[in-house]
Amino acid sequence: MVITAPINTALRAVAMLFFVVVVAACSRTPDAMPTGVGNLGPGGGAPGSQQEFLVSVGDRVFFTTDSSSLTTEATATLDKQAAWLNQYQNYRIMIEGHADERGTREYNIALGARRASVVVNYLVSKGVNGQRITSQSFGKERPVAICNDISCWSQNRRAVTVVQ
Amino acid sequence: MTLITRRNALKMGLAGGALLAGSSLAMAQLRIVVEGANFQPLPIAIPDFASSDPAFGKEIAEIVRNDLRRSGLFLPLDPASLPVQVGDVNATPDFNTWRTANVDALVMGGVERGGQISSSVRVWDTQQASQVVGSSYNTDPNSSRRVAHIIADAIYAALAGSTGYFDTRVIYVAESGPKANRVRRLAIMDQDGANVQYLTDGQSMALTPRFSPNGDLVTYMNFADGNPQVYLLQLSSGKQQRLANVGAMTFAPRFSPDGGTVAFSVEQSGATNIYVTGVGGGQPTQLTSGAAIDTGPSYSPDGSRIAFESDRGGSPQIYIMSSGGGNAQRISFGQGSYSTPVWSPKGDLIAFTRQSGGQFNIGIMAPDGSGERMLYTSFHAEGPTWAPNGRVIMFFQDPGGNDGPKLMSVDIWGRNLLTIPTESYASDPSWSGLRA
């Protein structure tokens, strides 16, 4: 519980922040799929702040159905994350792996872990100290976008980098 | 809880359950033929049970009627329409009266509540003018619903060609709150939805509970430690503990048929493999290896094999291996992907979740992969569990969006789709065996 409490708080904060995007995405076709909270626009926060990481770097990457391969957009986001994390070494890093609702519960727990693992390995390959990183799978149990089509599922297939 | 066990009650000559004296047990012709396109449920007359407390007699009879009705194999007749309103277990019925009322199957019962609950019941075949079964049962005074379920099981066993499944419980995940931050905790209830109790407080997410064969131990997935881990929970004491310390994450547990072992998944660095370990602790044994996701292990009832799902071939499919590991053979070959294999307690079928064409299906197949049949199809359904007689499957269905899941059941002939009443959203049902 020592570990989960701040994660849940952070997750809720991220979920609330992301809710704006969700509503927009579900009410009309977005011009382009968001690749992270960085799409929210200006107001990036102080250099080295968690707010800057969320808004200017982008805290999450997305996966295609049943896949844990990194897309070109995902590696671009992770490259920015790695550069930022290597600049601000005081943060610990939690990688949350998530799946969309279109799978069974246990398989999605494993799929979330596999996605988190891919992100951990990529960040380590870009010089982030593995000792700073932990990961957790939430399977399909913590969606951020709620609707019955791909506009939501594509946002729920994600790995989120939480700096703390 | 009573020490007079259910099995004893069905067999014993004296204290627990006694065969009532009376006409000899004829080989009745009254039988429900469960297979076939022309299936019709058997009409059955169950007058209120005789009792010095008539309301209690009515309540017990109504639970029996409800069990039999919900099985889909019986059609209990409206008690108000019967020629006799209250049963008399000590007299031979006037068969002519019942035949004239088109009643072939007749249940006469009585029940009294004192220091314990005593109930007697006779099932009559009016055409043969013979008794199909006659028994009496004693249970402790707090188990009135159980007495009714035990009687319903005896009627089912006498007429439906199989043991029953009414004196059972279901453990499941009770869900509440918005989908993005839903609370999920363990709950237990009787198979008909009565007597709900909540077992965890929802502070940490709990998923995929499964009963041990003895019905007192439960294994489930608990997020209290961050990553989910397999826990054991003893129902009688409320005590719980983590099963094993292996890998980064442990999940998808299920007991062996003797209850001594749990098979489960272990994730490490993105790879998920199947392990087993004794419920008393000890070093876990690894059964599968490789970078794939191997999960959802389920033992055959003889304990010799384990069905599981794996995406080693690309998409999730069902495989069967020896329970010592090795020699995995794929058995699912239809369109789409297959998950959550669960071996029937009879051993003849494996239930599964199949995703195909944007829909989810609950289906069954023989352990060699033959005879695949879909029993239920919808936008989302998963997580089958078997009634102890291997004839009914419970699962959960989710309409998506911000709505939540509910429990449903269907029989292996694809008939009798039911919603199981629950106070909250509900998922991950696990059906107990017949209670001891």
In this predicted structure, the answer to whether residue A36 has a pLDDT above a threshold of 60 is no
The Cα B427–Cα B404 span in angstroms is: 9
How much is the pLDDT for A33?
37
Flag whether the ipTM exceeds 0.90.
yes
Yes or no: domain B6-159 corresponds to CATH 3.40.50.10070? yes
Which positions in chain B touch A4 (Cβ < 8 Å)? 204, 223-224, 226
Confidence band of B387 (pLDDT split at 50, 70, 90): very high
- Averaged pLDDT, B97-117: 94
How much is the pLDDT for B241?
96
- Averaged pLDDT, A87-95: 97
In this predicted structure, the answer to whether residue B395 has a pLDDT above a threshold of 50 is yes
pLDDT digits (tens, 9 = 90+) for B15-41: 344 556 554 444 446 888 888 778 899
Cross-chain CB nearest to A101 (options B224, B296, B400): B400
Q: Give the number of domains in chain A.
A: 1
**8 Å CB contact of B340 and A106:** yes
In this predicted structure, the answer to whether residue A35 has a pLDDT above a threshold of 60 is no
**8 Å CB contact of B223 and A103:** no
In this predicted structure, the answer to whether residue B68 has a pLDDT above a threshold of 50 is yes
The Cα B195–Cα B180 span in angstroms is: 29
pLDDT digits (tens, 9 = 90+) for B340-361: 999 999 999 999 999 999 999 9
Are the C-beta atoms of residues B104 and B127 closer than 8 Å to each other?
yes
**8 Å CB contact of A141 and B207:** yes
The model's pTM is 0.89
Q: Which of A77, A101, A96 is nearest to A152 (CA)?
A: A101
Which positions in chain A touch B249 (Cβ < 8 Å)? 109, 113, 137
How much is the pLDDT for A27?
34
Residue partners of B27: CB distance under 8 A and separation at least 6: none
Confidence band of A76 (pLDDT split at 50, 70, 90): very high
In this predicted structure, the answer to whether residue A8 has a pLDDT above a threshold of 70 is no
How much is the pLDDT for B83?
94
How much is the pLDDT for A11?
44
- Separation in Å, CA of A147 to nearest CA in chain B: 5
Confidence band of B13 (pLDDT split at 50, 70, 90): very low
**8 Å CB contact of A104 and B340:** yes
How much is the pLDDT for B1?
31
CATH number of domain containing A26: 3.30.1330.60
Domain range summary for chain B, segments of one domain joined by +: 6-159, 169-431
What domain range is A122 assigned to? 4-163
Yes or no: domain B169-431 corresponds to CATH 3.30.830.10? no
Confidence band of A21 (pLDDT split at 50, 70, 90): very low
How much is the pLDDT for A99?
97
Are the C-beta atoms of residues B180 and A15 closer than 8 Å to each other?
yes
How much is the pLDDT for B20?
60
